[in-house]
A and B are shown apart, each in its own frame.
Chain A
Amino acid sequence: MSDFLTPFLMQSAVQAITPILLAALAGALCGAVGVFNMAMEGQMLIGAFAAICGSYASHSAGVGVGVAIAASVAFSLILAYGATVFRGDAVVICIGMNLLASGLTAYLLRALFNVSGTFSDPAIAGLSRIRIPLMPSIPILGWGLARQTAITWGAWALVIVVALVLFKTPVGLRMRGVGERPDAAETLGVDVNRYRIVTVLVSGALCGLAGAQLSLGAVNVFAEDMTAGRGWIAVVAVMLGRGHPLYCAAACALFGFADAVGLRLQGLGLPNQLTDIAPYVVTLAALAISHRARNSNALGKADRDV
């Protein structure tokens, strides 16, 4: 086992999970209040780009993270208001947002930095990694958690926080109520739109963090469409975890593991075109297995009902 799972592999697996985990928490929160958010891909991409801009301009990774959160929250206003006050279809809005993020970042990359494809610069300060003494000597788990960014540590802490908020606090109870029966929540004086708007904006903040980790967490580079489907994997993690933060985190860990196995196979000589698809294949298989034991009824099954 430890021949296969090297310290480096575990570390990169944990690192790979972080953005997906944050995006999945964002998706789980939105799902709890009944907004189907599948714009995490775009929210993260905006965050990743803004983080690079902020860090480039200020030479500070912290400022980069702040700018990433602000930009992603601002971008999330589209879904926050579009799906609530304006009563638009969340699926269509999210498709539009993902494309807008892709186009906008590519455009600004050319317009601001005059490059296409990827952008990196010595002026960009990356996130520093927290070293914990003795950690690397614990096999597997310790290898994974040694030398990670504060965002990675924060992401796992947030899993606990989100679970506590959702299941132990009045706000969480109301959020779940808003998601299950908005009309009922409304009659009990809970402002459904406000809960949904705030939640979507919080999801933007989480995805902003995820994006910052993506661009500043390892190699300090922005590449067009660098989210590369992570937002979609997060959407699936929310489905697999049935919206429960702990189960969603477990699903994310599964993908991270698949990713690491792919990397490892690549190290053993398999072409990366094949190993890159590992997380998607695992995802599809997991979805098929988790959904098969449901009762069937031709009427109850509505299209696009996710």
Chain B
Amino acid sequence: MAPAPELEAIGVVKRYGALLANDHIDLTVESGEILAVMGENGAGKSTLMSLLYGLQRPDEGRILLRGAEVRFSSALDAIAAGMGMVHQAFKLFDSLTVWENVVFGAEPRRGPFIDRRAARAQVESLTEAHGLRVDPDAIVGALSVGVRQRIEILKALYRRARVLILDEPTAVLTPQERDGLFAVMRRLAGEGRTILFVTHKLHEAMAIADRVTVLRDARVVARMRTSQTTQSEIVRAMTGRNVDLQISRGVAAAGAPLLEVEGLTVAGAGAKPLVEGASFQVRAGEIVGLAGVAGNGQTELVEALTGLRVPDKGAVRVAGATLTARDVAAHRHAGLAYIPEDRVAVGAALGADATDNLAMGFHRAAPLSHRGLLNVAAMVKRARELIAKFNVKIASERALAGSLSGGNLQKMVVARELSHEAPVLIAEQPTRGVDIGAIEFIHGQLIAERDIGRAVLLVSAELTEILGLSDRILVMYEGRIVADMARSQASEEKLGLLMAGRTAAS
């Protein structure tokens, strides 16, 4: 008889009220195997992982670890049973050191105190044993994303994890960091550990996983070996239809510069500026992609461009109007629309209704207001029109923004910003965390904006999005624009090296 699989889920069901998040899921993974779990947003991947890891309990079904049924009442049980999880958003304490993060919750003691020396020694031996280079005494907040991910893996290994769940681990990495992670994953699998790799990136699943299990609409719809399948087969399973993976777009006909940035500098708390002497232009009828690993100054640059932050030096011109050190209202008035990175924290007020949300930015002028008095009927009419035009799925224009799904909320934000018909559009991570249908829609809208002669600045961490949409590409590294090239000159490898701070030549 063959040995029992390392981890097995049988008929697992999870409901949230009326919503069925996991519908009789069966999943098996063998020891030493890398299994990719794929599916669109909302397919049930995250729910399934939180059930396996004990963060939530299934309503029905069983979970078996090495043949024995387990009932985790918390993540603590799962950790004790040899499970480890690296969350998509890292769960690290920025103000603490690496070793404190690793031993947190299972600290070696000496009397009533933490045995600092023993803790450091254990962390050091783990880093050496698994090729995860990191300084145990570094403060986590100062470390790069790739290093932080290593700390997450160290945390799991410190707790003797035999099964590792990696939830979208590559989303935040440069291609080179990703390759480094894959090497670590192969090494861990080679040691006999089991890895569940949650992803929606086809080529990564094909590159690293032994098998793929695909979820759609809360169910398992396909199980395949990567050696015996193709990318389009997986996509068909994920979406239930054929999707054109290529973003189709015509050739750009760039005109006059509409967004001009000269020597923009934003000082930081330390000696090093957050943005240093950024200069570039975005012309009418082109999409300029701004690539870079998160945390290299893109956020601050965009804040300075939109008036949310006062730059310390430099000039910003929108459609010819100089806006340096002016406030947000002046930027918007000059003709700048902005789809922010975080639609929940910045782009919408979840506690307010769609009418109020869609009026923001338009509320100071006719027809929505006249001499400081609101025209509520006009606000409602506008909201209805935009909801219909952009096909936002919402109960009514008086329903709260908080009732919308992620994709529909993003559609609402996009609807509001595009209806400014502003000459310049800044779109920051416009498709993060939305389903494929909404991604296609939003990409189409961005290209349509370009084609009617607007200037679009696209800030994205997804290189495929940057490469697929942009006419010109900028790369940002440590606060500086380190490259400005035409799309035709760019490749994933080249951008990856630039994002990691190396010049394309070296």
Touch between chains A and B, by CB atoms below 8 Å: yes
Chain B contacts of A186 at CB under 8 A?
Answer: 75
- B303→A297 contact, CB < 8 A: yes
Closest CB in chain A relative to B471 CB, distance in Å: 29
- CA A176 to CA B268, docked complex, whole Å: 26
Number of residues of chain B lying within 8 A (CB) of chain A: 32
The stretch among B89-97, B182-190, B367-375 that forms the contact with chain A is B89-97
Smallest CB–CB gap between A191 and chain B, Å? Answer: 8
Report A179-192 CB contacts with B as 1/0, cut-off 8 Å.
01101111111100
Counting chain A CB atoms within 10 Å of each CB, the highest count among B87, B93, B267 belongs to: B93
B328 / chain A contacts, CB cutoff of 8 Å: 298
Task: List the A side residues contacting B92 at CB < 8 Å.
Answer: 181, 184
The B interface is mostly helix, strand or loop, or mixed, namely loop
Are B105 and A190 neighbours in the complex by a CB distance under 8 Å? Answer: yes
Q: Which residues 91-121 of B have a CB within 8 angstroms of A?
A: 91-96, 100, 104-107, 109, 112-114
Complex Cα spacing A168 to B111, Å: 11
Question: B106 contacts which chain A residues (CB < 8 A)?
Answer: 188
Kindly name the residue among A176, A183, A297 whose own CB sees the greatest number of chain B CB atoms within 10 A.
Answer: A297
Kindly state whether residue B422 has any CB partner on chain A within 8 Å: no
Contact, CB under 8 Å: A169 / B112: yes
- Whether A168 lies near B114 (C-beta < 8 A) is yes
The docked-state distance in angstroms from the alpha carbon of A194 to that of B94 is: 23
| Candidates B104, B109, B114; contact of A177 at CB < 8 Å | B104
Kindly supply a per-residue 1/0 record for chain A positions 182-210, scoring 1 wherever the CB is within 8 Å of any chain B CB and 0 otherwise. Answer: 01111111100000000000000000000
Residue of A174, A176, A189, A297 with highest tally of chain B CB at under 10 A: A189
Partner of B268, one of A189, A295, A296: A295
Q: Which residues of A contact B76 (CB under 8 A)?
A: 188-189
Using A298-B309, A299-B309 as known contacts, say yes or no to A185 and B55 having CB atoms under 8 A apart: no
- Inter-chain contact total with CB atoms closer than 8 Å: 72
A173 at the interface (CB under 8 A from B): yes
Question: Do the beta carbons of B87 and A187 come within 8 Å of each other?
Answer: yes
Known: A180-B94, A297-B309. A185 touches B113 (CB 8 A): no
Tell me which of B96, B104, B114 has the highest count of chain A C-beta atoms within 10 A of its own C-beta.
Answer: B104
Q: Is the CB of A185 within 8 A of B95?
A: no
A170 within 8 Å of B by Cβ?
Answer: yes
Interface size, A (range): 20 to 34
B85 within 8 A of A: yes
- A170's nearest neighbour on chain B, judged by CB, is B107
Chain B's closest residue to A297 (CB) is: B309
| B79: chain A residues within 8 A (beta carbon) | 188-189
Q: Which residue of B lies closest to A178 (CB)?
A: B93
B377: chain A residues at CB < 8 Å are: none
In the complex, residue of chain B having the shortest beta-carbon distance to the beta carbon of A302: B345
Q: Is the CB of B91 within 8 A of A187?
A: yes
Within 8 Å CB of A299, what residues of B? 303, 308-309, 346
B91 & A296 in contact (Cβ 8 Å cutoff)? no
CB pair B114–A169 under 8 Å, yes or no, is: yes
C-alpha spacing A150/B55, complex, angstroms: 47
Q: Tell me whether B142 is interfacial, beta carbon within 8 Å.
A: no
Chain A residue at smallest Cβ distance from B92:
A184
Is A183 within 8 A of B113, CB to CB? Answer: no
Give Cα A184 to B86, complex, Å: 11
Q: List residues of chain B with CB within 8 A of the CB of A298.
A: 303, 308-309, 328
Which single member of B74, B91, B100, B268 contacts A183 (CB below 8 Å)? B91
**Residues of A close to B104: CB separation below 8 A:** 173-174, 177, 185, 188, 190
Q: How far is the CA of A38 from the CA of B193 in the complex (A)?
A: 49
In the bound complex, residues from chain A placing their C-beta under 8 Å from that of B74 are: 189
Q: Are A187 and B55 in contact (CB under 8 A)?
A: yes
Asked whether B64 is an interface residue with its Cβ less than 8 Å from the other chain, the reply is no
Residues of B within 8 A of A173 (CB): 96, 100, 104, 107, 114
Q: How far is the CA of A187 from the CA of B72 in the complex (A)?
A: 13
Interface string of B43-69 (1 = CB under 8 A from A): 000000000000100000000000000
A17 to B101, CA, bound (A): 36
Q: How far in angstroms is the closest Cβ of chain B from A182?
A: 10
Cross-interface CB contact of B85 among A177, A187, A189, cutoff 8 Å: A187
Q: Which residue of B lies closest to A294 (CB)?
A: B269
Nearest chain A residue, comparing its CB with the CB of B111: A169
Report which A residues bind B (CB closer than 8 A): 168-170, 173-174, 176-177, 180-181, 183-190, 295-299
| List of 8 A-B pairs having minimum Cβ-Cβ separation, nearest first | A189-B76, A184-B91, A188-B105, A170-B107, A299-B308, A168-B113, A298-B308, A180-B93
4 further A-B contacts with Cβ under 8 Å, apart from A177-B93, A189-B79, are: A173-B107, A181-B91, A187-B55, A187-B75
**What would 22 A/B residue contacts be, using CB atoms closer than 8 Å?**
A170-B107, A170-B114, A173-B107, A177-B93, A180-B95, A184-B92, A184-B93, A186-B75, A187-B87, A187-B91, A188-B79, A188-B104, A188-B106, A188-B155, A189-B75, A189-B79, A189-B105, A190-B104, A296-B310, A297-B308, A298-B308, A299-B309
